[in-house]
Structures are given as structure tokens and as C-alpha cells.
Amino acid sequence: MISTAFSERLGLRNPVIQAPMAGGPTTQELVAACSAAGALGSFGFAYTQPAEMKRQAAWVRGKTDRPFGINLLVAPQPETIEPSAQRAALAAVAGYYAECGLPPPEP
């Protein structure tokens, strides 16, 4: 099986990310089954309220101790982000990108 820094970091047995499809196709059962099988199950929470996100994530956590992802679709904001806040956010995740051998995102 192929092994990558990303799959090793998450302890994935299969270097596969189940597509986080919003609007219905991705169920909590699918996410749990994919994660339990050694892939990265992923929610697509574009149209889901926070309380429901928590409920579904807790359900998956009750079915497997394997990692799973939550993909959020966030509408663009009309205001610009303070450059210092943007630098701080990028600095906070820079180590994860480096550990996986990926270039950091553009500001």
C-alpha cells in the first residue's frame, strides 16, 4: 500500500480521502465506515447547522476511534482580513504543511 507523510500522520491504512459531498450524499454512516476501513471519512457540511454538525461528528466518534474530516464551505466575506490575522493563521498551520511536505498556502 502507498504510504505518505499525510497518511502516516493520521494513521490511515489506505491513503484515500472519501469525498466530502454536501447536500445529502455523505452520511454519518458513510463517514464512519470509510474511517473504520482505514481511509479518511469526510463530512461535507456546507448546508448544516453547527448543532447538527456536532451531533453527527459525535455519532461517528461513537462508531470509530479512527480520524475523520469535516469540510466546511464558507461563503466569501466582503471585508478584508487584517494582514496580521492572516499571517497568524498561516503560521498556526505552517508546521502541518511542512510535516506533510506541502508548500504553505498563499496569503
Question: Are 103 and 66 contained in the same domain?
Answer: no
Question: Are 69 and 80 contained in the same domain?
Answer: no
Question: Are 51 and 99 contained in the same domain?
Answer: no
Q: Each residue of 27-63: pLDDT tens digit?
A: 999 999 999 999 999 999 988 889 999 999 999 999 9
Question: Are 81 and 58 contained in the same domain?
Answer: no
Judge whether 76 and 59 are in contact, CB under 8 Å.
no
**Per-residue confidence band for 1, with pLDDT thresholds at 50, 70 and 90:** confident
Residues 6+ apart with CB under 8 A from 11: 66, 67
pTM attached to this predicted model? 0.69
Q: Tell me the Ramachandran region of residue 85: left when phi exceeds 0, alpha when psi lies from -120 to 50, beta otherwise.
A: alpha
Question: Are 46 and 23 contained in the same domain?
Answer: yes
Question: Are 66 and 41 contained in the same domain?
Answer: yes
Domain tally for the chain?
2
Question: Are 35 and 67 contained in the same domain?
Answer: yes
Judge whether 20 and 44 are in contact, CB under 8 Å.
yes
Question: Are 63 and 33 contained in the same domain?
Answer: yes
**Per-residue confidence band for 4, with pLDDT thresholds at 50, 70 and 90:** confident
Q: Each residue of 60-100: pLDDT tens digit?
A: 999 999 999 999 887 777 678 888 988 898 999 999 888 88
Instruction: Count CB neighbours of 33 within 10 A.
Output: 16
Range of the domain at 24: 5-75
> What whole-number distance in Å separates Cα of residue 13 and Cα of residue 23?
28
